[in-house]
Copies of this chain bind each other. A is one copy, B any other.
Amino acid sequence: MSVSSRSSPRRLPDYPAPTAGTSRTPALPPALGEAAGGAGTGLLFLREEQIRLAQDLFFFAYRDLTASADLILEELGLGRAHHRALHFIGRHPAITVSELLTLLRITKQSLGRVLGDLVARELVVQAQGRADRRQRLLSLTDPGRALERRLFERQRERLVAAYREAGGPAVEGFRRVMRGMMDPETRRLIDPRDPVTPGGIISERRSGS
C-alpha cells in the first residue's frame, strides 16, 4: 500500500518554525564524546544523546565501509548481496545453503538468484554432501577466492587504519559493544566458545574431516 498523494503545489508556511519551539539546532549537539564522561565509567554516559550518536556512527560507518567495495562490484555487474554471499562462503567453506540462509537472514528465493549468478560465473561451486547427499555444500573456486580477496582488501585498509588509530584497547571495546548489540542467538553464532549447536556453523552436521 503506497501512501503517496503529493501532487498539488501544497501551500507552505512561510516561516521556519512550524511546530513547537523547534528553532535551528547547531551542526550537531555539543554534549558528547570525550567531554561527557571522561574515559571513566561516569554515571551519565547513557544519556540520550550518546545513544543517538551511536546510531549515527553506525549508519555512517556501515555506509562508508560497504561503499568501499562497490567500485569493484559494479565493474563486474555484481551487487552487495553477492559480496555478502562470497564473504560468508569464504569464511565457512562447505557451508550448506540453509546455514547460509540463517546467517544472511534472507529467503531461499533471494539467495537463489545471487547464488545462481555466482555459480554461473564459476566463483562458487556446489558439491554434494557426503553424509547427507541432499546438501549442496558451497565453497569458493580459485577465482572466487581471488575476487573475495580483492573486495576484502578494500575494506581491510579502512579497518586496519581505524584499528591502528584507535589502538588495541579501543578495538577491544569496539568488539564488546558490537557484540552487545546483537541478538543473543547471533552472538552465540560468532562466538568461538560455546558453539551454537555442536558441529556445523549452525546445526551440527559435521560429517568427519
A→B interface (CB under 8 Å): 1-6, 10, 12-20, 22-30, 32-34, 37, 39-42, 45-46, 48, 50-65, 67, 77, 84, 87, 91-94, 105, 113, 116-117, 119-121, 125-130, 133, 136-137, 139-142, 145, 152, 155-156, 158-183, 186, 189-192, 195-196, 199-201, 206-207, 209
Distance from A55 Cβ to chain B, minimum over Cβ atoms (Å):
6
Docked Cα-Cα span, A172 to B91, in Å, equals 29
Please determine whether A22 and B139 come into contact, CB atoms closer than 8 angstroms: yes
Q: Which of B4, B37, B57 contacts A117 (CB 8 A)?
A: B4
Chain B residues in 8 Å Cβ range of A159:
51, 54-55, 181
In the bound assembly, the distance between CA atoms of A17 and B143 in angstroms comes to 16
Q: Is the CB of B176 within 8 A of A12?
A: no
Verify A125–B177 contact, CB threshold 8 A: no
Closest to A164 in B: B46
A61 to B128, CA, bound (A): 32
> Shortest distance in angstroms between A95's beta carbon and chain B's nearest beta carbon?
9
Kindly report how many copies of this chain are found in the complex they form together: 2
Contact B27 A196 (CB under 8 A): yes
CB atoms of A176 and B182 under 8 A apart: no
List residues of chain B with CB within 8 A of the CB of A166. 173, 176-177, 180
Q: Which residue of B lies closest to A27 (CB)?
A: B195
Query: What 3 pairs across the A-B complex have the smallest Cβ distances?
Result: A173-B173, A162-B180, A170-B173
With A24-B207, A29-B192, A51-B156 given, name 10 new contacts (CB 8 A).
A18-B141, A28-B190, A28-B191, A39-B168, A54-B159, A54-B175, A55-B152, A58-B65, A165-B176, A167-B176
Q: Say whether A160 contacts B4, CB under 8 Å.
A: no
**A to B CB contacts below 8 Å, 5 in the list:** A18-B137, A23-B93, A24-B206, A61-B179, A61-B182
